[in-house]
Structure 1
Amino acid sequence: MSVEFKNLLTLPSLREAEVVAGKAGLDQPVTSINVLEQSNVDKLRKELFNQEDKYGSEIVISGLMTIAHDVNAQVKLIQHLQHEGEIGLILYYVGVFIPEVDQRLIDICDQLDFPLVVMPRGEPSLRYSEVIYEVVEAIIKQEMEEMSFSNQILEQISNLPSNQRNVDTMLKMLTDRTHSSIVLTDIRGQMINAGTWPSISTLDLSYMVEQTTDASIQTIDSVSVVKRSIFHNGMETIQIYMFKETQPLTENMVEQAAEVVQIFMNLWGQNYEAVNTQELVKAILNDESVKMRRLGAILHIDVGSISNVWFVHVKDPAERKFVMYHLKEEMKLRFNVLLVELFEETVVVFMDEGKTEEDFTTIASQVFEHLQEEQLETTIVQYLGMNTTTDVQAAYIKMEKYFEQAQFLYPQQQIFTQLHFQFVAECERVVSEGEKAIRQALVPLQPLMQQEELLETLAVFLLDAQSHYAKAGELLFVHMNTIKYRIKRINEIVHYSVTKLPESLIYYRAIAIWRLLKNTGKRTE
């Protein structure tokens, strides 16, 4: 049995701590503990949680001192930690730096099954080192007693969200458990993925791969090394290399590591060794950075220049290949780097900054019109200025999560941007927070609540017609003057002009939430 989070709460240093939220997540295994010094999510994403690091079963310790009085930032941080694979937070200095644990923080932790453990309140003398020492000691003791780890790691992987269930995560778990560096290569010896122990190891992996030629454990330059083959359908497809610098590898350790890789490839690594643009797109969207760079080099594609992506939804699945063909033909003269592939049920288009001076809005409009001429019904979602594969993966996840809501909110829209999805996500967050948040958001509309016709007119005018009277009239099948009269009547009732800033922003948000709530029943049918 592995060390579960709930078992750690019996340690002397944690005995007086209180689990205030996320109790459903206490059964998760813990393999490491870390101190979180940076609480700013944007800086965390850039500086700590880069595209090569996923922490599968780690708990974090923090006093959240830099955001002690910013509950929204605390909630955002919890969401980010959970997304990155962290499994819980031990919170220090409540009543010292953080006045109290806000209910919103408790609610998000309960929603995500993310344990929030609060150390004794009002105690400035608490030390991180006491908990760190006892937790690490418990983990090491368990690892020494437990010789079998393959089933545990595979179970952990199977329980991960799909965006984290990739080779990089699997290697991170194996290197943490075996305290060795691990390299995967194709049958020609080309490096595909690598994980190092420790993470700052300066071991020359390419050199070690070249020197390691035997399937038996041996020592090269004081490093214990081994090479094993991984088979698929009876054929050798990839090779695993292990390098341990402090102690010799054991046959049991090597066999279990190879077993984890073998089963992972059978279950989740279909076509992993394939060299084609579809596998390159999968590597980008699965955030497998080493594989992405390796495939890019083989295919002579400058993946570093890719900064823009379209997600194209095709109404009729049978027409996807025709849409892909037309997209390639339309775009190849405009971009130096272009990838058009199918990922799951979405056509994905990766692009560099382009050869021409055309802006992306113009290009998207022209491409959409040409697809319409071919009677191909599509919806284009543009995410521009992506800096890393982590950004691209996050964009895809957000697009998939909120695509249906975006269509309900903007039924006339066929070309979306990331700003649409950021706004939809914000509206959905308000709806998910419950009645109090909803009532507060709808306060500007209260004078109109008994007048459905005026509410519908306002929704169409602001959300669908971009405040154009003629377009709103067309969409509602009434004369433009009727729209003008209704908007004037709305202004009189609410005592503000819904067509002028900043009032229009307030009413735009309120009517968007109203429309989402109105369509809730349809979305769940």
Structure 2
Amino acid sequence: MTTLAEILSLPRYSDLKLLTNQESVDTQKTIQSVEISETPDIEHYIPNDVLLLTTAMSYVDDQKGLISLIDSLIRAKAVGLGIKTGRFIGKIEPEIIAYAEKVNFPLFDIPNTYSLGSLLHQLLNKIWGTRYEEISFALDIQKKFFSLLVQNANNQVVINKLSEIVKTPIILLNPFKEIMDYSKQFNQSRNPAQHYVNQIVQTMQEMPKENDSFIINGPKGHEVQISIIPIRVHTYFPHYLVIVNPEQIPYPISSFAIDQAAMVLSFVLFKNEKVSESRQSIATEYFKELIDYHSGSNPSVRSFELNMKHGYLLSDYYQVVHVFDETALEETMPSLHQEERLVLSSQWLQKHVPDYFANALVLFFGVSKESVILIQRETAELDEKLLEIRNQLSESLDIQLVFSIGNPYTDWKRINQSYTEARLMFDERKNKLQTQPIIHYKDKGMVQLFHHLEKNDVRFFCENILKDFAYPKEPALAELRKTLAVYLGAQCEIASAASALFVHRNTVKYRILRCEEILGHAVNSPSHSLNLRLALALSDENH
């Protein structure tokens, strides 16, 4: 990591004279390359961070043209300009030096005693020698971190070790931009890591994605530079290594050295994730046994108690919630991007579901990438809590969860029934592409007997029984159908139906009379009411 300020300070280059003031030299900007050119349009042919050497022969008769050259070098993000005097130009005019100072661009004089070719080689040797030192140091860091990997070091050890090497605080974030670990500099309450993370998350949402360095405000209001390095454990959803005050990292630590540490950290994170998945799979495998349970197998309570170490509880309440990602509903085979969303959803649920449901278990099916929440304590406001979970994850990673819910049961031997109900609702959700956040299982009773009949036969039955009410398109007929369904559901009680519909008793009476006129018979007669109920349910299914 060689800078122009460093070169000009070396005794061997003491005869290179800086023409602009010292403030024009950026002490942090490193030289990546050195070029010799006499071409005025050089900006189109040089890389960033280049130091340009020239005799300025093209500007012998008009040094004002050097102003345009300086502007073009600024656009090309050059480090500085060295002009050899005495060959074509005897002396740089004050006007040119004043302009270079005005735009804060380093300009230095190269004595005629120098050969530009010789100076070029000397400077490149200096830069290459520095890079060799940086690469050697980076490889040493890589060895140290691979040693930590072999020693089974956890994230905290790796983060603290990296922080010691780079001499600056470090924070590790998961893909949800939540803190996983941070270096010991943040252990003091007056310097909380969460303060930095809150500002980092807000800034990352507002800035262009290609930006990896920016300024935030520290706890005391002072400006702090932040550098973000993605850690690729997942292809589309990286973890993040946050380096605070990266400008203070000492030489010879380079970005290459930090990249090596980040690569090893990705292995550590990947390994830890797989270990966690392995532990969770034990609980999931036992859940699969519960799903497959039937009365003939007769597992004992004792066998269930043995699995309490995996989070299962003996309780009087069990309910299964099937969880999936809305964007993957249409796909038979989820893409890699969708698979990662489902995996991360499960990881997020593992961490946050206990905040909403005490003693709940989150189980993940590795092949289908589906998640299940097993609720083991009766809970109030189930739907409200699931919606909060959906909203919180959506804010963190823009994943929209959908929940398919089975009925609750008091016996652990009926967990499989709750799961079957939740899975049936999920299958129906997929078939009909229902994206509403929450769907509860409802026992369809006799309606299920008609599922294997031809749709046309079912439609004929519904139209024959319900007449104009079977598949109404007119609002008035739809309103009458709704009143008929509520009236039958209220066991033909006028008062109960009126209360459910929020209308007057006389309104219900009038509507039922209209229904009977259209149907041609009384709706409360035992010989007709069963067919009416069944036809209403079937036409809802096939509408």
Same fold? TM cut 0.5:
no
Q: Which structure has the bigger radius of gyration?
A: 2
TM-score range, shorter chain: 0.3 to 0.5
User: TM-score, normalization: structure 1?
Assistant: 0.32
User: TM-score, normalization: structure 2?
Assistant: 0.32
